[in-house]
Amino acid sequence: MTSLVDHSARETVGFSFSEATAAGAKQHGFYPYTDNGGSTLGITGSDFAILAGDTRSTSGYNINSRMVPKVFKIGGDEETGEGARIMLSVVGFAADGTALKERLDAMVKMYKYKHGKPMSVAACAQRLSTILYEKRFFPYYVHAILAGLDEEGKGALYSYDPVGSYEREQCRAAGAASSLIMPFLDNQVNFKNQYIPGSGEGHALVARKPEPLPLETVKGLVRDAFTSAVERHIEVGDNLQMLIITKDGIQETFHPLKKD
Amino acid sequence: MDHFPGTWGRPRNDVYGAYDPSYLQSTGPKTHTSSPAVTGTSVVGVVFNGGVVIATDNLASLTPSFLLPLRTASYGSLARFTDTKRLRVFGDQAVVGFGGDVSDMQYIDRLLESIDIRENYSSHGNTLNAKNLHTYLAKVFYKRRSEFNPLWNHVLVAGFDSAGKPFLSSADLLGTTFSAPHLATGFGAHLAVPILRRLFPEERPVEEISQEEAVEALKQCMKVLFYRDARSTDKYSIAVITKDKIDLKEDEQLEKQSWAFAEKIKGYGRQTV
């Protein structure tokens, strides 16, 4: 019996879309990351530290939710966060952020259980770096900021890249609107490009020396930074979450931001 | 019939030509799921005073692998199973609505069933609430995505938290989670959420939203989704979760459809003006 199908000249299917014919053997891979937008910011003072973030969660142009906090209390009670002395903000891929927060929280609690004393911020900062670096070749896709009070009671702030490089700083902005907020912080917190009027001409001009700012001023800077970022970045908005640590503990506040 | 059982039941070579196995991957690295095959579309959910209501339609669409390159153009979608129930009851206080791959849904369903049985055999009985269930599912999703072997779903979990407050939250194949008073996955995120935001704006407290109003809103959403989501159907499931019971209806039919608007649509096909 002869073949019913002519295999020598197989007909190519004609599509009306050029895209379709060009596709051929297209590989469709699985990409394990997504960007959930949002921005975070931390500033320290002589006896306090502030960590703040917006509460919008996005994927692409969609708003997932208007209330997904990015700043967490570490080492405190599971529900209320009571007893915590360290704060962590994570921005980037939210699922990695949650996983990272939960691991650090567990480690801080284990430290207290094993050693009978709370973990210092400096120790926690080093531990967070190793947690991130452990996943050097499949990183937690987040920019983390850790804050608390150091052994002298001064505000301490550590900022991280996704693979664990970190340094202690006075202030840091991270996330979607970091490029909008960070230059503002450079100028308003570290007094970059500010000079003492009439102190000289050209190179003789004396730069204004940065000094720790009072809490109320810093709160104002944080709110100004976010209201401005909301204006120019579509992934930032809805609510501003602020965590403030002083010797009396951590205080959490929410303020409305623009929802457009 | 010959003496080679391996060839029995196969199309005859002399009639159809030799079997061409080239479409089966025989070389290269082992690959896990890199795209879903049989899928369900949107899941929609709303919180009301004293409970949560959640809905999905009953369709599972098939996108054959050789048509995947066309998927963005929404061609090559076969309405494969028209009686796929995508709402699953867990315990007596929680419902999961599944979007995405149907075989992965059935796998997760078996997981949840085994947990339910294990919990019920324990001395305290199954006390896992919707929040616990959501945490568990999110961790399963996150673990699987971290192994590059994802469960291709986007789910909504509806029920109550440990404080007895109505709970509605989402989890997807990457392990991403978020919660809001109204949520929708897939096409619903574009079509249903704007309707729900208009009906239940943020300023309006949840205590003001009645069960009837929430159910009516979801029915409207399912209708709009049927009008505009090519991979949806007019049969749907809806579950109302309240303190005393879960009211699950799996054979609902969209009512009062109006296609009058279709006449006014211009600019497609022959009618170009």
The residue-averaged pLDDT of A187-212 equals 94
Q: Which of A100-104, B80-84, B229-233 is least confident? A: B80-84
The pLDDT value recorded for residue A4 is: 44
Chain B residues inside the 8 Å CB shell of A65: 178-180, 183
CA distance B172 to chain A (A): 10
User: Any chain A CB within 8 A of the CB of B178?
Assistant: yes
Angstrom CA distances, B194 to A55, A259, B200, B256, stand at 20, 14, 10, 21
Residue B17 has pLDDT above 50, yes or no: yes
Residues of chain A in Cβ contact (below 8 Å) with chain B: 1, 3-5, 7, 15, 17, 19-20, 23-24, 26-30, 32-34, 36, 57, 59, 62, 64-68, 93-95, 98-99, 138, 259
Residue B221 has pLDDT above 50, yes or no: yes
Separation of alpha carbons B169 and B181, rounded Å: 9
Chain A residues inside the 8 Å CB shell of B177: 94-95, 98
| Cβ-based contacts under 8 A for chains A and B | 79
The ipTM is 0.86
Separation of alpha carbons A183 and B94, rounded Å: 48
Separation of alpha carbons B250 and B241, rounded Å: 14
Confidence class for position B97, pLDDT limits 50, 70, 90: very high
Inter-chain CB proximity B146 and A4 less than 8 Å: no
Percent of chain B surpassing pLDDT 90? 63
Q: Which of A60-69, A144-153, A214-223, B18-27 is least confident? A: B18-27
**B26 vs B257: which has the higher pLDDT:** B257
CA angle B92, B111, B154 (to 5 degrees): 85
The residue-averaged pLDDT of B169-194 equals 96
Residues A49-92 pLDDT 10s: 999 999 999 999 999 999 999 999 999 998 888 999 999 999 99
The pLDDT value recorded for residue A18 is: 45
The residue-averaged pLDDT of B220-238 equals 92
Which residues, other chains included, contact B238 with Cβ-Cβ below 8 Å and sequence gap of 6+? Answer: B53, B54, B55, B87, B215, B218, B219, B222, B248, B249, B252
User: Any chain A CB within 8 A of the CB of B42?
Assistant: no
Confidence class for position A5, pLDDT limits 50, 70, 90: very low
Catalytic residues of B: 33
The residue-averaged pLDDT of B150-173 equals 96
How would you classify the pairing of strands A171-175 and A239-246?
A: unpaired
Residue A160 has pLDDT above 70, yes or no: yes
Structure tokens at A6: 């002519």
The overall average pLDDT reported for chain A is 91
The pLDDT value recorded for residue A28 is: 54
Confidence class for position A17, pLDDT limits 50, 70, 90: very low
User: Any chain A CB within 8 A of the CB of B135?
Assistant: no
Confidence class for position B210, pLDDT limits 50, 70, 90: very high
CA distance B58 to chain A (A): 24
Percent of chain B surpassing pLDDT 70? 90
The pLDDT value recorded for residue A20 is: 44
Inter-chain CB proximity B142 and A95 less than 8 Å: yes
Inter-chain CB proximity B180 and A66 less than 8 Å: yes
